[in-house]
Each structure stands twice: as C-alpha cells, then as structure tokens.
Amino acid sequence: MHIADEPSTHTSPTLTTPVKPDVEFYVLVFLVAVSILMRWIGLDHWPGISGDEAWSAAQGRLFLRGEPYTWITPTRRIVTPTYALPTLLLQAFFPPNAWLLRLPAFLAGALTAIFSYPLLKRVLDQPKARIAAAWTACLALHIAYSRIGWEMSQTLPATLLVAYFALRGSIWKTALALIVATIIHTINVFLFPIAFAPILYDLYDRCQKKKPPRTSRLILWGICFWFGALVFLNRAFSRFAIPTHTAIDGYRFLIGFTRLFSGVLVFSDFSATQNPIVSGLFDTATTVGILLLIVTGIRRVKGRNLAFIAGVAAACLLLFVMGRAVPVSAGYERYSLWLALPSIVVFALLWPPGFKARVVAYALSMGMLASFAVLYFVPMAEYGGSSINPYHAGKHDPKFEAAKWMSGDAGLSPSVSVVAEDWALQWVVVDCLLDHPHRRVELIDPDKAGDLEDVLVRKDGYVAGYANGGLESAVNRLRRTNTSAVFVEKDFPDSAGVPFVKVWKVVKQ
C-alpha cells in the first residue's frame, strides 16, 4: 500500500535561524553621521573666517573678472590645484558666501569619514577597520579641519589613500597617492616612510624567496636615493640644517603628539584656551593610553602591518628631527595633520581583540564627539571662542556681515575704497565687494593709509576695524578734528552680542 509522504518536520536552517543584526556596523554609521553633522553645523561662522580662506576666493573672483590676480600665496607657494579648481568653480557660479569658502574642506572631510571603512576593511580585519574608521570620523583634529577652508584640509583624503595603498602593497598607486598628497602641501612629503615601509617589507620578503624583479630593485634604489638626497640637503644648505635637540624638546613633542588625538591643540587654537586642569587630564589620559597600547599590542602585529607601524614611527622621528616640537604646537598643528590618520590605523592595529575592547573603542569615539561639542561649539556659541581676531566668532561671521553691508551700501558705485585693519578683514571685504561685476575695489593698506580723511571724505570710502582697535582710535581722533562731517558707525557683534567689527563712513551734507 502506498503511503503518502508526510510533511517533513525539518526545515532549512537558513529559514529558521534568525540573522543577528550587525549592531557594531550601525554604531559606526551613527558615529560617522554625527561626525558629518558636526562638520556642517555653523560651518559658515564657527570659527570666524580667516584671511587665507577669503584670499583664495578673492583671487578666484579677480581671475574670473580678468583683473590682476596671483596664485602665489604670501608664503611663496603655488596654490594647490586640487583646492584652487573647486574654489574657482564655486566663485564662478555663486555670489560671495561664507559657506562657499569652506565647502571644499567640508567635502574632503565628509568623504574621508564615509570612505575610510570601505577602504580599510580591505586591508585590515573587520573589527580593526571599524575602529579605525570610527576614530578617523570622530577625531577633533579631522572635524576641525573639515570646517576651515585651507589647502591642508585636503590632506585628509590624501592620507587615507596613501595608507590604504601602502597596506595593500600597490607600489605605483602608493607612489601616485603620495605625489598627490605632496602637491596638496609639501609638508606631506613626511608620509614617505609610511607609504614605502610596507613596500620595503614586501621587497625584503621577495629577496628571501627569490631574486626580485627589476622594477622592485629600481624602487628600492629610488627610496635609498631619496633618503640620501635629504642628507645632502641638510649638509649643503644651512636653511635645511637639523636643529639642536634637547630632552625638553622630546618631552614637548610627545605631549604635542598626544594632543593631536586628545583635541587640546584644536581647542586651544580655534575655540578657546583650555583650563590647565582639563588639559592636564587630557594629556595624561591620552599619553598613558598610547604608551599602554604600544607596550601591550606590538607583539600581536606581524608582517606588512608591523612594517606600516615602523613607517609611522620613522615619520614621527623624522618630523621631530627636522622640526622639533613646532609641528605639534598650538597654531601649527596643520603641519602634522598628515600624521593623524596613519597613527589612528596604528592604534587600531595595536588595539586588543574582544567584544569588550571594541565597546571601549566606540565609547572613546563618542567621547571625542562629546568633547568637540563642549570644548569647540559651546565657547564659540557663548562668547565667540578664540581671542584671536580671525577666529573669533558670532552668530553670523562679523567680518563677512560687515563686508556684505559695505557692498550693499556702496550700491552701484563703480569704485570703492576701503581701509581694513588686518589680513582677514581685507580679503573678506574684497571678496564681497567683487560681487558686482563692474565694481573696482581699492584696498588701502592701513599702515600706508596716511590721512583717513582722504578715504572717508574725499573718496566716500569705508574704514573697517575691530572694536577698541587701532583704526577705531584713528577714526575717533578724526571725528574730533573734523566736526563738520557726519560719521556713520555700524557695529557687527560677536556671539555674546558685544561689538566686534566696526565700519565707518562719512555722509556728506
């Protein structure tokens, strides 16, 4: 008798076994998203617009108008093409706007945060790639340099590519990424040991097995030639002479290096001087943490990863030998921006395995974001943050608001004369006043202005300065001696509502 098949009581495991959600990945996505949001909040006025940012935009507008311009910076360097081109395109299609000055930097930082994990997971194991990506996105130094329109901001994606191709062992792609990084800024040449230490390891490994190909030998000789050229330059030219070092220099470099990751350098430079107790706690915790990582984790790293760590150590030593503690000092941390991401990769390689260790790593990432909110945004929102004029902030950038007011007040005047107190005010004013295609701007150096009466009365021009600054005193003296003129004073406050930038003009009766 035929017996019908009974329904099977067994089902496919793929249908019944629930798939656990990848919580760590969602945490990483959350951290990256919040870090990008922090790169965007108040981008146009926190911190205040600097002269370098406005200078680049103004040169772009002068170029588009067919007027005299220069792509040679005041430090005698050629403006980076990868920065100048997007700046030029933005100036061509949009009117003057503080957002435009920083959009290229924001995009560079945001793209670095987004693509760090997809790239690093190809050369590191998944947990370490996620930890490195989280720290890259949340590092205060990286967020801060995504918020200011400097060429150095493009170092972030360049160093990501250098680290990725180096760890992957792609010789020519690593060389190309290094060239691009060096074009962005010459200080990025210090990436050389980081880029080629893994490649040297591969060459050594090949030599142990068989004779390396001719291309590999050429690369090896090229690396030797590069280091030889450095030694020659130090011997031949006094300006390349290696400075004398002391134990104090070494201590300062160590503390400065740790401050790249604690955020103290960024907060002291852009937002506000830190309380010594807060700085001491940050310095101690970060220094002890890094030293513990090195001591406990170095034994677990082998092969090309170990060579990469050696390259980062060599780059740190080279930076110290050439520059002592200056590149890791407040106000100069941009010269060690290239070192941050490779060091983060090293920290991730040294980080202990295990679920609890990963939880601590993500907690550190959240701590980085929290410290940035408290020590960067809060001072700027409450009282303007930094006491340095270019970075001092308002609810809207006072310098840009003053420049826009002058542009609107000048109307259709074919020529506008302006005396501005410093570099930042000068070029913010020029950028805004060039909004009208047929307007000529005469920027008068305050040290060479001579008689302000000529600018204000005879030329119907403007004087822009800071509250309680030198130009305010000069205008007040002129006001007392020229009682027949009607002076108009326009104030532009900082975040606390205190007048920060002032503009003066004379109304003819």
Note whether 247 and 126 are same-domain residues: yes
Q: Kindly state whether residue 55 falls inside one of the protein's structural domains.
A: no
pLDDT interval class at 241 (50, 70, 90): low
Note whether 114 and 29 are same-domain residues: yes
Q: Kindly state whether residue 75 falls inside one of the protein's structural domains.
A: no
Expressed as residue numbers, the domain containing 490 is 398-507
pLDDT at 99 exceeding the cut of 50: yes
* φ, ψ (nearest 5 deg) of residue 468: 65, 20
pLDDT interval class at 79 (50, 70, 90): confident
Note whether 292 and 429 are same-domain residues: no
Its pTM stands at 0.90
Note whether 279 and 142 are same-domain residues: yes
* φ, ψ (nearest 5 deg) of residue 440: -100, 135
Amino acid, res. 248: I
What the block records as the tokens of 308 is 């990469």
Helix (H) or strand (E) holding 58: helix 51-65
Note whether 434 and 336 are same-domain residues: no
What the block records as the tokens of 36 is 């990008």
Length of the chain: 509
Note whether 112 and 163 are same-domain residues: yes
Q: Domain with 487 in it: what CATH number?
A: 3.40.190
- What pLDDT shows up at residue 44? 93
Three-state SS at 420: strand
**pLDDT digits over 134-191, tens only?**
999 999 999 999 999 998 999 999 999 999 999 998 888 998 999 899 889 888 989 9
pLDDT at 426 exceeding the cut of 80: yes
User: Which of these ranges, 11-25, 241-255, 491-505, has the smallest mean pLDDT?
Assistant: 11-25
pLDDT (mean) for 42-51: 94
Note whether 332 and 436 are same-domain residues: no
Note whether 406 and 348 are same-domain residues: no
Note whether 403 and 319 are same-domain residues: no
Q: Kindly state whether residue 81 falls inside one of the protein's structural domains.
A: no
Q: Kindly state whether residue 4 falls inside one of the protein's structural domains.
A: no
Q: Helices H, strands E: what count in the chain? A: 22, 5
Q: Tell me which of 324 and 159 has the higher pLDDT.
A: 159
CA distances 135 to 31, 42, 112, 207, 356, Å, are 9, 22, 12, 36, 17
| Distance separating alpha carbons of residues 101 and 132, to the nearest angstrom | 29
pLDDT interval class at 452 (50, 70, 90): confident
Note whether 127 and 28 are same-domain residues: yes
Amino acid, res. 298: I
Q: Kindly state whether residue 84 falls inside one of the protein's structural domains.
A: no
Amino acid, res. 232: F
Q: Where does a domain end: 351, 383, 415?
A: 383
Q: Kindly state whether residue 221 falls inside one of the protein's structural domains.
A: no
Note whether 337 and 483 are same-domain residues: no
CB burial string 465-501: b at 16+ within 10 A, e below: bbeebebbebbeebbeeeeeeebeebebbbbeeebbb
- What pLDDT shows up at residue 233? 53
**pLDDT digits over 427-451, tens only?**
999 999 888 888 888 888 877 656 7
pLDDT (mean) for 371-398: 94
| Distance separating alpha carbons of residues 389 and 379, to the nearest angstrom | 15
User: Which of these ranges, 217-231, 363-377, 443-457, has the smallest mean pLDDT?
Assistant: 217-231
Q: Kindly state whether residue 406 falls inside one of the protein's structural domains.
A: yes
- Residues 6 or more apart whose CB falls under 8 angstroms from that of 31 comprise 134, 137, 138, 362, 365, 366, 369
DSSP letter string, 166-230: HHHT-HHHHHHHHHHHHHH-GGGGGGHHHHHHHHHHHHHHHHHHSPPPHHHHHHHHHHHHHHHHH
pLDDT (mean) for 379-396: 93
Count of alpha carbons within 13 Å of 421, Cβ hemisphere only?
Answer: 22
pLDDT at 240 exceeding the cut of 80: no
Average pLDDT of the chain? 87
Q: Where does a domain end: 383, 417, 444?
A: 383
- What pLDDT shows up at residue 382? 95
Q: Where does a domain end: 350, 383, 416?
A: 383
- Residues 6 or more apart whose CB falls under 8 angstroms from that of 407 comprise 96, 432, 433, 435, 436
As for how many domains the chain has, the answer is: 2
- What pLDDT shows up at residue 323? 84
Note whether 355 and 496 are same-domain residues: no
- What pLDDT shows up at residue 231? 54
- What pLDDT shows up at residue 483? 78
Q: Kindly state whether residue 71 falls inside one of the protein's structural domains.
A: no
- Residues 6 or more apart whose CB falls under 8 angstroms from that of 419 comprise 444, 445, 446, 449, 452, 455, 461, 462, 463, 464, 471
CA distances 417 to 47, 56, 127, 190, 439, Å, are 28, 21, 60, 44, 11
